[in-house]
Amino acid sequence: MTAGPYHVSPAALKRPYWCAATSVPRFLCKLNVMAFVITDPCINTKDTACVDVCPVDCIHPRKDEPEFEQTTILYIHPEECIDCGACVPACPVAAIYDGPDTTPKSQTSLIEANAIFRSGEPDTLAKAEALVSAHVAAHPELMAIPPADRASAHTK
């Protein structure tokens, strides 16, 4: 299968028709719920390889955006993500999950952080980063693990 702007990943095709998070059909769920989710291995890593491969430029902040130095993690815009899956293998620390249903429970607060952040909006940056800070405080055991090994310690 060729990757391109309208490619849909096999993982996305395998998702249930109903969204577990909201109990509504997934195509409606997509309007309100995060698609792909960046989780804690990205904290203070911000490699941005995912930004480079995203065909719709929906991962922020980019290195050339003013918020880049202010954030501890990158965020995926929930409505702009087209579920192509290109960012998942690009991430060197395996931080990206293909949706809320597959994101480990320990990472739940980061689903909301991804859903809140909007590039260029200081308010949403502050709210999203507060969630990330709370996640860091709640999971010292994960933060003690080097980012490259952290995803393997995520539990469902």
State the residues that interact with ligand SF4 by CB under 6 A: 36, 53-54, 56, 58-59, 76, 81-87
Q: How far is the CB of 40 from ligand SF4 (least distance, A)?
A: 17
Query: How wide is the angle at C-alpha 102 spanned by C-alphas 70 and 143, nearest 5°?
Result: 45
Counting Cα atoms < 13 Å in the Cβ hemisphere of 108 gives: 6
| C-beta of 56 vs 130, nearer to ligand SF4 | 56
State the residue for tokens 């395998």: 14
Q: How far is the CB of 44 from ligand SF4 (least distance, A)?
A: 20
Q: How far is the CB of 56 from ligand SF4 (least distance, A)?
A: 5
Q: How far is the CB of 18 from ligand SF4 (least distance, A)?
A: 21
Query: Which structure tokens are listed for 36?
Result: 């792909």
| C-beta of 118 vs 143, nearer to ligand SF4 | 118
| C-beta of 100 vs 139, nearer to ligand SF4 | 100
Q: How far is the CB of 125 from ligand SF4 (least distance, A)?
A: 18
CA distance 80 to 20: 21
Query: Which structure tokens are listed for 15?
Result: 């998702």
CA distance 107 to 138: 11
- Positive or negative, the CA dihedral 50, 133, 144, 21 is negative
| C-beta of 90 vs 136, nearer to ligand SF4 | 90
Exposed, middle or buried by CB within 10 Å (0-12, 13-18, 19+), for 2? exposed
| C-beta of 77 vs 139, nearer to ligand SF4 | 77
